[in-house]
Amino acid sequence: MALRTETDKETGVALLTLDRPARHNAIDLTTAAELAAAWRAFRYDEEVRAVVLTGAGGRAFCTGIDRGVEIPQPPSPYTIDDPLLSIGPKANDLWKPVIAAVEGMACGGAFYLLGEAEFVIASEEATFFDPHTTYGMVSAYEAISMAQRMPFGEVARMSLMGTAERVTARRAYETGLVSEVTPPGGAVAAALRAAAVIASYPTGAVQGTVRAVWSAKEAARTQALAHAPHLIALGNLAPERQAELFGRRGRGGGEPRLR
């Protein structure tokens, strides 16, 4: 299993952990399927009233798609198959509140998950970056997700700078991506405390509020996401060229600049 789930029946909070620390909690096809199944299961579990999402090992929350995964693509230039589109709670019609607890790196496809959480808590050593452009890929779904949380210029800079820069937890807090910064190792505990408070309230009111907050940006987000497949299909380098760049520069692309 690529996920671990623990539910505190007393508080009504489930802790969902990406459990592939040796791969920096990168998502393969098995993990993607397990995430979708977990969110769907939470919909029907009356004991779960709030969820905390985190990654195992402390070095990374998630580093996006596992580069070792081969994803066959249709021969059409107008569409792509993206297994990450179904990994988030909202994609699986879960409207119970989800809090993301970030320790270590969160990059690339991690933003599919962060973008569908109600809010994000990060420890001081957490960093955020988007490597797509470095490796000849369009940052579309990721950039759109972050544009719902951060100022335009900050999203553009993070998306365009690739692996050359990492956004610190403090800067992420200043720009609105993160709602709370904790001491090292403290993000999960802080998220569980917040989730327990929310879970103690009447569930109908909580889920209705979640839906109301999301409805405020749903139209713009839906329109933006409709353009994403075409931009990716047109702008991405061929897979072999992406692999060449990835092999030449490595995941981190050298020592990145923190900001």
Q: How confident is the model at residue 255 (pLDDT cuts 50, 70, 90)?
A: confident
Nearest to 24 by CA among 64, 53, 52, 51: 64
Check residue 252 and give its pLDDT: 45
What are the two backbone dihedrals, phi and then psi, of residue 149, each rounded to the nearest 5 degrees? -120, -25
Cα distance between residue 141 and residue 221, in whole Å: 10
Could you tell me how many residues make up the chain? 259
Give me the percent of the chain exceeding a pLDDT of 70.
96
Span 71-107, pLDDT tens digits: 777 777 666 778 899 999 999 999 999 999 999 999 9
Check residue 254 and give its pLDDT: 57
Specify whether the CB–CB gap between 159 and 141 falls below 8 A.
no
Check residue 171 and give its pLDDT: 98
Cα dihedral sign, 230-233-237-243: positive
Q: How confident is the model at residue 13 (pLDDT cuts 50, 70, 90)?
A: very high
**Higher-confidence position of 43 and 237:** 43
Is the pLDDT assigned to residue 248 strictly greater than 80? no
Check residue 250 and give its pLDDT: 58
Span 194-227, pLDDT tens digits: 999 999 999 999 999 999 999 988 878 888 878 8
- The contacts of residue 243 (CB under 8 Å, 6+ apart) are none
Check residue 249 and give its pLDDT: 63
What is the reported pTM? Answer: 0.91
Check residue 82 and give its pLDDT: 81
